[in-house]
Amino acid sequence: MIYREHYIKPIREFYDSDLIKIITGIRRSGKSVVLEQIRNEIKQKTDNVIYLNFEDKRILTNISNSNLLIDYIENNRKAGKCYVFLDEIQMLDGWQEACKTLRLYNNSIFITGSNSKLLSKEFTKELSGRYVAFKIRPFIYKEILEYTKELGKECSIIDYLVWGGFPKRFEFDTEEARMIYLNDLDDTIVINDLLNRYKIKKEQLFKNFVNYILRSNSRIISAKSIHDYIKGKNENCSINTIIKYLSYLEDAYIIESVKQYSTKTKNELAYYSKIYNTDVAFNSIRCMDNRYDLTHNLENIVYNELIYMGYKLNVFNNNGKEIDFLAQKNNKQYYIQVAYSIAEEKTYNREFSAFANINNLSQKIIITNDDIDYSTSTVKHIKLKEFLLMDSLENI
């Protein structure tokens, strides 16, 4: 597996801190691999290291509660700073109290947990200021190229646009095997985890809702539009239930929402947002007859790549015309439009007109899958194949 320095570097600063280090993110994004890479790095300087994986039934059978975990660590650690790695810690009852206690006795605690039981709002509540959290995401394209080279394989940009970046899917050679893996992963992450966790009684309603949302990536959504869709399926569902279901998907890292930035109010408008899937495979496995939604998946991919680069993103309302992203970082901002192609004149005019009246001192960018350079004196065109290899938008 490739070394994910992008994620390990910020964690490294906290190796010796008494704050609990939480490695979180969607299932199968590589959290346990990052944990292992950190552990191997620390083992180069000390052997005072303890690792427990609570998906191992032998461990969970013998360490079944917080008191037994504390006793095990105290009986097996050596003098001095001890580095404790607890993988899939949510399997253990009372893990929160155990971690809060262990950190007080010269232990540096690292934990991972699946999205089904260790969610962002939960560790905020349970650990209240005693932690730092680091979110791991599926592969972006540069990581895919590195990993497929390691496997002796290749991955085209189109393959990335359709099937996304869940690491393990690259190990399968046939489309049938890949589909089985991704569908099973979807059932586990999206359906089983959430249905079981929140004890959702209207199972078919929830499944219809999830299918609609995950097919609506890179689109503006509202509770009302979702309600209208559900009603069209002859299901009864309140607006409050829809809002609640959306929060389930977002808390579990399945979707992310981007708010609108208004030129009039100079702030974010909470009622207006676009939805992006953490991985575009969630859209593609719901498509029939290989009619994949490349246009919206491309924008979703650009979103994922920009987030990886560290940009804060908003949708930008330019006097009624939507610009896909206002990207901000290091006191610099970029206005970014995304389209699959602008070869046709109508599409070209529509996409470029979104930049109307924006100060030319601001950097304006359009990203497409075209091979022809459509840059103008005021708008920089970046080809997708070039954008995917960038580390930053600076100096373009």
For residue 44, pLDDT over 80 is answered with yes
Distance CA(278)–CA(250), nearest Å, equals: 9
CB of 141 closer than 8 Å to CB of 388: yes
Amino acid identity of residue 41, one-letter, is E
For residue 59, pLDDT over 60 is answered with yes
The mean pLDDT of 144-153, rounded to a whole number, is 98
Mean pLDDT, the chain, rounded, equals: 93
CB of 31 closer than 8 Å to CB of 7: no
For residue 252, pLDDT over 60 is answered with yes
Confidence band for 104, pLDDT divided at 50, 70 and 90: very high
Of 206, 214, 248, 212, the closest CA to residue 229 belongs to 212
Amino acid identity of residue 303, one-letter, is Y
For residue 266, pLDDT over 60 is answered with no
CB of 112 closer than 8 Å to CB of 23: yes
For residue 263, pLDDT over 80 is answered with no
Predicted local distance difference test score (pLDDT) of residue 93: 87
The mean pLDDT of 310-335, rounded to a whole number, is 95
For residue 119, pLDDT over 80 is answered with no
Predicted local distance difference test score (pLDDT) of residue 299: 98
What digits encode the pLDDT tens for the residues 161-203? 999 999 999 999 999 999 999 999 999 988 888 998 899 999 9
Of 311, 329, 191, the closest CA to residue 258 belongs to 311
Confidence band for 276, pLDDT divided at 50, 70 and 90: very high
CB of 302 closer than 8 Å to CB of 135: no
Predicted local distance difference test score (pLDDT) of residue 127: 82
Q: How far is CA 166 from CA 84, 147, 200, 261, in A?
A: 27, 11, 27, 31
Predicted local distance difference test score (pLDDT) of residue 269: 45
Predicted local distance difference test score (pLDDT) of residue 86: 97
The tokens describing 181, both together, are 């893996």
Q: What percent of the chain is modeled with pLDDT above 70?
A: 94
Of 213, 291, 289, 295, the closest CA to residue 248 belongs to 213
Q: Which sign, positive or negative, has the C-alpha torsion 108, 22, 29, 368? A: negative
Distance CA(105)–CA(92), nearest Å, equals: 20
Of 167, 98, 132, the closest CA to residue 15 belongs to 132
Q: Which of 134-138, 177-181, 235-239, 313-317 has the lowest mean pLDDT?
A: 235-239
Contacting residues for 12 by C-beta, under 8 A, at least 6 apart: 38, 41
The mean pLDDT of 84-99, rounded to a whole number, is 92
Predicted local distance difference test score (pLDDT) of residue 234: 80
For residue 232, pLDDT over 60 is answered with yes
The tokens describing 314, both together, are 């908003």
The three state secondary structure string of the chain is CCCCHHHHHHHHCCCCCCCEEEEEECCCCCHHHHHHHHHHHHHCCCCCEEEEECCCHHHHHHCCEHHHHHHHHHHHCCCCCEEEEEECHHHCECHHHHHHHHHHHCEEEEEECCCCCCCHHHHHHHHCCCEEEEEECCCCHHHHHHHHHHHCCCCCHHHHHHHCCCHHHHHCCCHHHHHHHHHHHHHHHHHHHHHHHHCCCCHHHHHHHHHHHHCCCCEEECHHHHHHHHHHCCCCCCHHHHHHHHHHHHHCCCEEEEEEEECCCCCEEEEEEEEEECCCHHHHCCCCCCCCCHHHHHHHHHHHHHHHHCCEEEEEEECCEEEEEEEEECCEEEEEEECCCCCCHHHHHHHHHCCCCCCCCCEEEEEECCCCCCCCCCEEEEEHHHHCCCCCCCCC
Distance CA(351)–CA(370), nearest Å, equals: 14
For residue 265, pLDDT over 60 is answered with no
Confidence band for 268, pLDDT divided at 50, 70 and 90: very low
The mean pLDDT of 273-290, rounded to a whole number, is 96
The tokens describing 345, both together, are 């004149």
- C-alpha of 325 from chain center: 17
**Highest mean pLDDT range out of 79-93, 102-116, 189-203?**
79-93
Predicted local distance difference test score (pLDDT) of residue 270: 47
The mean pLDDT of 35-43, rounded to a whole number, is 98
What digits encode the pLDDT tens for the residues 3-14? 999 999 999 999
The mean pLDDT of 85-102, rounded to a whole number, is 92
For residue 68, pLDDT over 90 is answered with yes
**Burial class (CB within 10 angstroms; exposed 0-12, middle 13-18, buried 19+) of 230:** buried
The mean pLDDT of 332-340, rounded to a whole number, is 97
Predicted local distance difference test score (pLDDT) of residue 228: 87
